[in-house]
Amino acid sequence: MPTEKINIAIGSDHAGFEYKELLKSYLKDYEVKDFGTHSVDSVDYPDFAHPVASAVESNEFIFGILVCGSANGVAITANKHQKIRAAICWLNEIAALARQHNNANILCIPARFVSEDLARQMTTTFINTPFEGGRHGGRVDKISC
């Protein structure tokens, strides 16, 4: 995995905690900042999705990764931020398309519905897949309100 100047903000709720910890270890060659949670104790996902989204939105981090049970809550929350394009991915191909066609900057992983191996694969794909631009660039430019 190329690591030049790629930094990643990561966060989860209690349902995604174990996958977040797994991905932090997997991403050991990158600069990764953990925005929490820090245990499996029940928490509110917006408390962790907003800080990750803010960190990516401000360009402090290139990418974000958010993990919760279904990935819906963290994606909905992150996408409230104007410069965020958070994509729920459950297949490696969807992670690639989220980057290629949507220039997604936050990967949202549904921990209850994908394997650990698939979570690692999607993370690698998401980080290493460039945005294609072209016709997709005009579409992405129309997303913000």
| 58 CB-near residues (< 8 Å, 6+ apart) | none
CA distances to 129, 140, 141 from 135, in Å: 17, 9, 10
**78 exposed, middle or buried (CB, 10 Å; 0-12, 13-18, 19+)?**
buried
- Terminal-to-terminal C-alpha distance of the chain: 35
Catalytic site positions: 68, 101
Q: Cα angle at 45 between 24 and 117, to 5 degrees?
A: 35
Contact 18, 43 (CB under 8 A): no
How far apart CA 16 and CA 45 sit, in angstroms, is 10
Q: Cα angle at 48 between 46 and 51, to 5 degrees?
A: 100
